[in-house]
Amino acid sequence: MVRRRRSRDVRPTATGVSNEHVPETVVARAKAAFRHRAAGVYADLAFDSAVVEQPACREDRQLRFEHSDGLAELVIVDQGETCVIRGWAHPPPERAELELDGQEVGLIWKVSDGALVFRDVPHGLIRVRLDGAEGLAPVYTAWVRI
């Protein structure tokens, strides 16, 4: 009896489903996501108006991220090809950086009184990095698709 060897990348899971039909690009992006994990505090998504049913809901999408020491709120204003992202954070950071999935360079905003604005943001996966005073760990929001 000849036994066929399986690739190391094709393993049955607890449900008996394997990943052999997962496109290579999906696997590569998933692995890259782990490489992008940076040291700092992570703010989890606590509220997303896109998934909460509310009568007479505003068109703007509202997001709230919470972490052990504070929170960040963002409002996404869709402008067709791009978006405007406005928000604030507590405690107020000194600087905010909008990270775009697959991009080496993000958009940077010097924060004033905790308020931040990013203009002409393309649709896609984003997260925000909030930098406080020197010596404090940066805060990263969860990745969200806008």
pLDDT tens for 91-103 read 999 999 999 988 7
Task: Tell me if 108 is assigned to some domain.
Answer: yes
Is residue 1 included in any domain, yes or no? no
Does a structural domain hold residue 85? yes
pLDDT of residue 56: 56
Confirm whether 18 is domain-assigned.
Answer: no
Helices (H), ranges, 17-88: 24-35
Residues 10-59 pLDDT 10s: 555 555 555 567 788 877 777 666 555 567 889 999 999 988 766 555 67
Measured CA to CA, the distance from residue 45 to residue 73 in angstroms comes to 10
- Position 102 in a domain: yes
Q: What is the rounded CA–CA span in Å between residue 104 and residue 44?
A: 23
Reported pTM:
0.70
Work out the average pLDDT over 98-116: 82
Q: Is residue 9 part of a domain?
A: no
The DSSP bridge partners found for residue 89 are 72
| Number of structural domains found in the chain | 1
Domain that holds residue 45: 39-145
Computed over every residue of the chain, the mean pLDDT equals: 81
Do the Cβ atoms of 36 and 127 come closer than 8 Å? no
Residue 121 sits in a domain whose CATH number is 2.60.40
What is the CB neighbour count within 10 angstroms for residue 43?
Answer: 23
